[in-house]
Structure 1
Amino acid sequence: MGNPLVNANRVYLSAGSVSFNFANVTLYARDPQAAGRGKDIDYNGVYCLNAHNGKLLWYFPTAGDAMPTPAYAYRSLYISTGDGNIYAISARTGHKRWMTHVGGIANMSSPAAWHHRVFVSMSVIPDLYALDARTGRVLWKASIPGAANTGMGDVSPAVRHGIVVMDAVADPRLIDGHPTLTTIVRAYNARTGKVLWTHNMGRGPKVPAFKGGVPMIIHGMVYVGSPITSDYEAINARTGRVMWTWHVPNAGPAGAGRGAPTYYQGVLYISTGPDVYALNPKTGQVLGHRHIGGRFGIVSPTIVGGTIYLGNSWDWINALPVKSVNPHFQLRS
């Protein structure tokens, strides 16, 4: 369920079965025989293909599902898996450089690399880990208090300028008989793990499927959504001060705000709900939008030249002119 990662003339893909997903984990705790552990695991692992002809160059099998997108850095691929392991793999040969077992489950939280550190978040045991990229040694770990459900394991950490940002759904409560959650955003010092600030994005109904919003950092600002409230916020990365909040219209019962925004030529592009939006990153003002249909989950627009590429729940791959979303767009040479 990860995204293709392209580097030079190679494409790296991760694969994993969702047969043993979080719901199956809780079922396994109650009735191991009914959980179906081990189904559809034959293709778990990381694949490397020739970008020009699709030829398989190597395959690195893993016992746990490899749902996150690998991080590429220092000629290595870094991936976390559903059996609680974190791997460094040679990007050229597919050989294992190191493996560290931390426990928990890797859902869709993709690793991030910065200054010879790798940041990985896991669920069930809800922790964020900083590892030495060369040896796999755990340098520090931290958590978000009250992280619930798949929580931190569904959200990829963002790191920039020595700050790591994570968020998770937390503090489950029944209100008027209905399950609710909050979304907590927390920033850490990337070198030490010290908490820099914590922000609560608000409480809302427990939505189905993926419940977190993937953060993105650019120009000293954190941009992050919350499907619980269907809001996106711009937060100062150093202070935690909220600069603006934008509520997604037409969010639907599943909520909106899962995918990280894409920053392109001074504008934020967000695919959420059934629509694609262009926002002013300084004010949150909507500059334009286009209705596509279906639903956009953990999807961030990929923009090349004047074209936006993205997929949706209708299993479509869409190619949209940027100008059809943002009428003010002018392609820079």
Structure 2
Amino acid sequence: MAIGRILPRALPAAAALHTAPENTSEGASLSHMTTSTEQDKNRLVTSIRVVASSTAMVAGVFTVALVILLAAEFLRASYLDVSYQSQIASQRSRLHQIADQDEAIRQIRQLDLSWRRSVFAWYRFSHLASGTLFIAIGILILSIQIVDYLAGPTPAKPGASRPPARSAVLEPLHLASLVAVGVLGAVAAVIGLQAPVPGLQAQASAAQPSERHWYRFRGPEGAGISPYSEIPVGFDGPTNQGILWKTAIPLPGHSSPVLWEDRLFVTGADTNDCQVYCLDANNGQILWVGHVKVQPDRLPKVPAETGLAAPTMATDGRQAYAIFATGDLVAFDMAGRLVWQVSLGLPDSPYGYASSLEAFDGLVIVQFDQGQPEDRASKVIALDGRSGKAVWQVNRPVGASWTSPILARIGTAWQLITVANPMIIAYDPRTGQELWRAEAVAGDLAASPIAAEGLVLAVQPYAKLVAVKADGRGDVTKTHVAWENDKAGPEVCSPLCDGRYVYLLDSSGMLTAIDLKGQLVYQQVIDLQFKASPSLAGKELLLISEDGTMLRIAAGPEFKELARYQIGEECTASPAFSRGRIYIRGRQHIFCIATKGSQDQTSQ
């Protein structure tokens, strides 16, 4: 009985003792295999960590080096940009004082070409370096993440409630690396994205208006002087001889064309619509039409001689700005998208608002004169070109005028010059601070001022030409009026100066030349009538009559007519110029008149 009770318990124990050696052998084998696998895995992880750590170190050094190189190249490119622009501006300012103008223009073109090459070289380098930099930053971050992950959790301390976070020892280094990379990346992005774009960065960095684009009424400084001496000759509008293209503009307007690179802008309006047109300057194709919403009950009653689209546009190469007689000011980007629209209110102007716009250092500047001097309703407004928000605004003690503001370089500084009954007033274009004023004009003023040889030249219609020295401060009426000449006073056309003589053209066809000391040089009656202001190209005056006749007149102390050409259409707008081309707005069409050599070139 005892045996019967013990046997059932002994057999399992014996079986266990019998099989124990075999199980122990297999366990040892499995343990050895597991240990070997773990060792291989650890060796692999260690190798990957070493490679990732080395990669992170190399990528970090490369990133820092590339940022330093990018910053150095940015400073070098910025220096070259300012240097070239300064040299070009200096050459242009002395252009009409140099006897050999063709050689001077050749030098300007060579400087411009060198500037363009440096701009494009920086543009290519910055984009390549920025792209490479972001790849390097990506590799650095990925390598750090791999090292961090493969480090595994740090062993828990005795008595700790739970194991610490993964790679606690590396976490500060990891965090510091990410912060450093972020800072470097931000700096590089800012530098890379500021790569100069031809025609845009130059203007912004130099903080001055373009001197090679016909970007506003009568071109740079409102002077009416072409930067190019080549003049198309032998053209005839009625037969299309010498006409590269002509394009019909849907709505009427007296605004003059403006240019930026291969884009030409002009406005048109009637009682149903106000429009902005962008044309390809090479073939005349209308690229886009911008429509400006205007309330029908806000349309002013204006004579046909002025119309709703008399003010000339301005452009800075980023956007094109236009204002209409309704007081509506708009900005379109170069693709034709409306960026902003601002209503300045319906101007109190008996003949219709006609002052053209100015663009300077990211600002669009409006001379908004109206009413009578005692009304104190006139003002000059500078708006941010990107947003349309007012940057500065000053009230003016003047009445309604139809003149346009100009920017003039006086010494080393820019002045914004305005003329309206009864004052010539100069402002700082960046701040609106009044610099000086002279009570020297009166009447309904339409001819815009010009600046030459340190003088501001302004016209009082039917009365006189006034010269004011522009280096004064405060009220300079009694101290800085250099001279007056009462032999001519055009009522519409703005004056022109070639550096030696001032030319005045009145509507009846009287051309008057006065030297810069105020002495009459000559007067000549031309058998035509004029509304467009005279222009200068090389050593020749270009006059365009109301019936569409263009005259070439030799600049100098004696009147000499060189040639006449027919446009074939009435014309009241002033022309625009590019190399070897003249753009003229007729009553219905824009005409591009071109020399043979310029017909296959991109407008410049």
What is the TM-score with the length of structure 1 in the denominator? 0.72
CA distance in 2: counterparts of 1:166 and 1:265, whole angstroms: 21
User: 1:46 touches 1:66 (CA, 8 Å); kept in 2?
Assistant: no
Instruction: Tell me the amino acid that sits aligned with residue 343 of structure 2.
Output: H
Q: Which residue of 1 aligns with 2:269?
A: 16
Q: Report the CA distance shift for 1:79/1:321 in structure 2 as closer, same or farther (over 3 A).
A: same
The count of residues paired between Structure 1 and Structure 2 equals 274
Q: Which residue of 1 aligns with 2:328?
A: 85
Instruction: Tell me the amino acid that sits aligned with residue 314 of structure 2.
Output: A
Q: Which residue of 2 aligns with 1:164?
A: 416
Asked if residue 3 in structure 1 is aligned to residue 256 in structure 2, the reply is yes
Q: Which residue of 2 aligns with 1:118?
A: 364
Q: Deviations over 1:265-316 (max 9, x none)?
A: 5433322242223332x3122333432234434x32122234432333x423
Deviation at 1:325, TM superposition (A): 7.3
More helix by share: 2
Say which one has the larger Rg.
Answer: 2
Q: Which residue of 1 aligns with 2:395?
A: 143
Q: Which residue of 2 aligns with 1:66?
A: 309
Identity of aligned residues (%): 24
User: 2:260 touches 2:317 (CA, 8 Å); kept in 1?
Assistant: no
Instruction: Tell me the amino acid that sits aligned with residue 103 of structure 1.
Output: G
User: 2:309 touches 2:325 (CA, 8 Å); kept in 1?
Assistant: yes
User: 2:535 touches 2:543 (CA, 8 Å); kept in 1?
Assistant: yes
User: 1:230 touches 1:257 (CA, 8 Å); kept in 2?
Assistant: no
Deviation at 1:197, TM superposition (A): 2.4
SS of 1:192 mapped into structure 2:
coil
SS of 2:521 mapped into structure 1:
strand
Q: Structure 1, unaligned stretches of length 5 or more?
A: 18-38, 170-182
Q: Which residue of 2 aligns with 1:320?
A: 552
Of 503, 518, 522 in structure 2, the residue corresponding to residue 269 of structure 1 is 503
Q: Deviations over 1:191-219 (max 9, x none)?
A: 2222222222255xx6xxx6333112234
Q: Report the CA distance shift for 1:96/1:266 in structure 2 as closer, same or farther (over 3 A).
A: farther
User: 2:292 touches 2:330 (CA, 8 Å); kept in 1?
Assistant: no
CA distance in 1: counterparts of 2:449 and 2:264, whole angstroms: 24
Q: Report the CA distance shift for 1:322/1:123 in structure 2 as closer, same or farther (over 3 A).
A: same
Q: Which residue of 2 aligns with 1:305?
A: 538
CA distance in 1: counterparts of 2:380 and 2:500, whole angstroms: 31
Instruction: Tell me the amino acid that sits aligned with residue 197 of structure 1.
Output: W
Higher relative CO (CA 8 A, sep ≥ 6), structure 1 or 2? 2
Of 437, 454, 468 in structure 2, the residue corresponding to residue 235 of structure 1 is 468
Asked if residue 278 in structure 1 is aligned to residue 513 in structure 2, the reply is yes
CA distance in 2: counterparts of 1:16 and 1:244, whole angstroms: 41
Q: Structure 2, unaligned stretches of length 5 or more?
A: 1-253, 295-307, 371-376, 562-604
Q: Which residue of 2 aligns with 1:127?
A: 379
Deviation at 1:45, TM superposition (A): 1.7
Q: Report the CA distance shift for 1:220/1:75 in structure 2 as closer, same or farther (over 3 A).
A: farther
CA distance in 1: counterparts of 2:547 and 2:445, whole angstroms: 21
Deviation at 1:111, TM superposition (A): 0.8
Structural mapping, 1:161-310, within 5 Å: 161-169=413-421, 183-203=422-442, 211-227=445-461, 230-239=463-472, 240=476, 241-249=480-488, 256-273=490-507, 274-280=509-515, 282-297=516-531, 299-310=532-543
Of 285, 292, 299 in structure 2, the residue corresponding to residue 55 of structure 1 is 285
SS of 1:162 mapped into structure 2:
strand
What is the TM-score with the length of structure 2 in the denominator? 0.42
Q: CA RMSD in A?
A: 2.8
Instruction: Tell me the amino acid that sits aligned with residue 2 of structure 1.
Output: S
SS of 1:140 mapped into structure 2:
strand
CA distance in 1: counterparts of 2:441 and 2:357, whole angstroms: 26
Instruction: Tell me the amino acid that sits aligned with residue 101 of structure 1.
Output: S
Q: Deviations over 1:211-253 (max 9, x none)?
A: 33311223432111011x521111122324111111134x6xx
Deviation at 1:77, TM superposition (A): 1.5
Deviation at 1:57, TM superposition (A): 1.3
Instruction: Tell me the amino acid that sits aligned with residue 439 of structure 2.
Output: N
